[in-house]
Amino acid sequence: MLPRLSAALLALCVGGLHAVACAQTAAPRTAPASNCLDAREVAEMRQSDPRTLAIATTGKAYFQIALQRDCPGLDADPHSTLWGREGWICGGGREFVRGAGQDCPITSAAAIDVAEYARQSRLADQNGPRTLAPVQVRGNQRPGQRGFRGTTSYCFAPRYMRSWSEDPRGVIVEVSPVHSGGNRYYRVELTESCPMLDRASSISFVSGMDMGIICGNVGDTLVVEKETLTPYVSADNPMLSRPGRTSSGATAARCGVAAVYPKP
C-alpha cells in the first residue's frame, strides 16, 4: 500500500531572533497555549490547499496551520521549514513557513483530531502530485487511470488485516503495524448504516481503484459475509441426512467506505 509521506518532507528547523540548528536538543518544553505546535516535533506535513497545512507530530498530535496568502508546493519541497519564536507555532505573528522559494506568513494554528488530519491528507493527495516513499502494493492499473496516491495516515491494506470489530461509526480493523506505518488499528467509517454487520461471519474490502488499499476513495467497499446452512445428505443412507452443516461465504451486504484513519 501507499505509505505516508517521508518524515523528511519538513525539516525540523526553528528560529527566534537567531536560527537554531535542526539537530539541537532541549529540555522538555511546555507549550504557551493548547493550540501551539512545537516545530521540533513535526513528523509530517500535508497541504490540502494553497493556504492550509496539516501537521502530524512525533507524539501523534495533529494541527492545522493557516497561511496569509497562497503558497502552493510547500509539502513537495523537502527543505521546507517552520519558523517561530523559540520554535513555537501559535499563529500569534512573526511566524512563517519557508519553502518552495517563498516565505509564507502564518495567521493561525489549531489542534485537530486524527480524523480531520486524515481528511486533509486525502485532499492533499487528490489535489496534486507529490513524491511518496516506496509502497508494497502490486496491481494492474486500468488503462488511462490516473496515478493513485495515499498514505498510512488514511489508508490500510486489507491483506494485512488480523481482526475486526463493529464500531458505532463503522468497524475497527486490526492490521500489521509493520506494514501500516506503525499503526495497529484503523477506524473505517461507512457511508451508511450496515445492519448486517452484527450477524457477519467475516468481512472483506474491495478497493474502488483496484490498488489493494482502502482509503475512503470512491468505490471503496466493505463486503459483509454471512453464515449459511447447507443440508448434509449421506449418499449411502438417506436416513442419516441432517439439516445442519455450517458454511460461510454468502454476501449479505455491501457498504460504502467514507473515511479511514488510525485509531488513537
Q: 202-247: per-residue pLDDT in tens?
A: 899 999 988 889 999 889 999 998 766 555 555 555 555 455 444 4
The span from the CA of 131 to the CA of 46, in Å, is: 12
- Mean pLDDT for the chain overall: 79
All three cell numbers of 99: 519553502
What is the pLDDT, as a whole number, of residue 141? 37
Do 179 and 236 belong together in one domain?
yes
Mean pLDDT, to the nearest integer, of 258-264?
A: 93
DSSP the chain: ---PPPGGGEE--EESSSEE-TT---S----SSTT-EEGGGEEEEEEEETTEEEEEETTS-EEEEEESS--TTTTT-TTEEEEBGGGEE-SSSS-EEEETTEEEEEEEEEEE-HHHHHHHHHHHHHHS-----------PPPTTPPPP---TTT-B-GGGEEEEEEETTEEEEEE-GGGTTT--EEEEEESS--GGGGGEEEEEEE-TTSSS-BSS-TT-EEEEEEEEEEEE--SS-GGG-EEEEEEEEEEEEEEEEEEEEE--
The span from the CA of 221 to the CA of 171, in Å, is: 12
Do 83 and 185 belong together in one domain?
no
Do 28 and 105 belong together in one domain?
yes
Q: Look at residues 107, 127, 147 and tell me which one is the last residue of a structural domain.
A: 127
Q: 184-203: per-residue pLDDT in tens?
A: 999 999 999 888 888 888 89
Do 121 and 204 belong together in one domain?
no
Do 170 and 113 belong together in one domain?
no
Do 104 and 167 belong together in one domain?
no
Does residue 252 surpass a pLDDT of 60?
Answer: yes
Question: What pLDDT band is residue 92 in, cutting at 50, 70 and 90?
Answer: confident
CA angle 261, 5, 111 (to 5 degrees): 55
Does residue 8 surpass a pLDDT of 70?
Answer: no
Mean pLDDT, to the nearest integer, of 60-72?
A: 96
Pairwise pLDDT comparison (226 vs 26), residue with the higher score: 226
Mean pLDDT, to the nearest integer, of 31-44?
A: 93
Asked if residue 98 is part of any domain, the answer here is: yes
Asked if residue 21 is part of any domain, the answer here is: yes
Q: What is the domain count for the chain?
A: 2
What is the pLDDT, as a whole number, of residue 206? 94
Q: 96-130: per-residue pLDDT in tens?
A: 999 999 999 999 999 999 999 999 999 998 876 44
Asked if residue 1 is part of any domain, the answer here is: no
What is the pLDDT, as a whole number, of residue 88? 95
What is the pLDDT, as a whole number, of residue 262? 95
Do 118 and 175 belong together in one domain?
no
Do 120 and 170 belong together in one domain?
no
Does residue 251 surpass a pLDDT of 80?
Answer: no
Asked if residue 150 is part of any domain, the answer here is: no
Q: Look at residues 86, 111, 127 and tell me which one is the last residue of a structural domain.
A: 127
Asked if residue 139 is part of any domain, the answer here is: no
Mean pLDDT, to the nearest integer, of 159-169?
A: 92
Asked if residue 236 is part of any domain, the answer here is: yes
Asked if residue 26 is part of any domain, the answer here is: yes
Pairing of strands 10-11, 80-83: parallel
Do 182 and 241 belong together in one domain?
yes
What is the pLDDT, as a whole number, of residue 168? 85
The span from the CA of 64 to the CA of 56, in Å, is: 9
Q: Look at residues 75, 105, 127 and tell me which one is the last residue of a structural domain.
A: 127
Of the candidates 229, 211, 228, the residue with the CA atom closest to the CA atom of residue 220: 211
What is the pLDDT, as a whole number, of residue 108? 96
What is the pLDDT, as a whole number, of residue 128? 60
Do 89 and 171 belong together in one domain?
no
Asked if residue 204 is part of any domain, the answer here is: yes
Domain that holds residue 256: 158-262
Do 117 and 205 belong together in one domain?
no
Close Cβ partners of 24 (under 8 Å, ≥ 6 residues apart)? none
All three cell numbers of 126: 487528490
Do 19 and 123 belong together in one domain?
yes
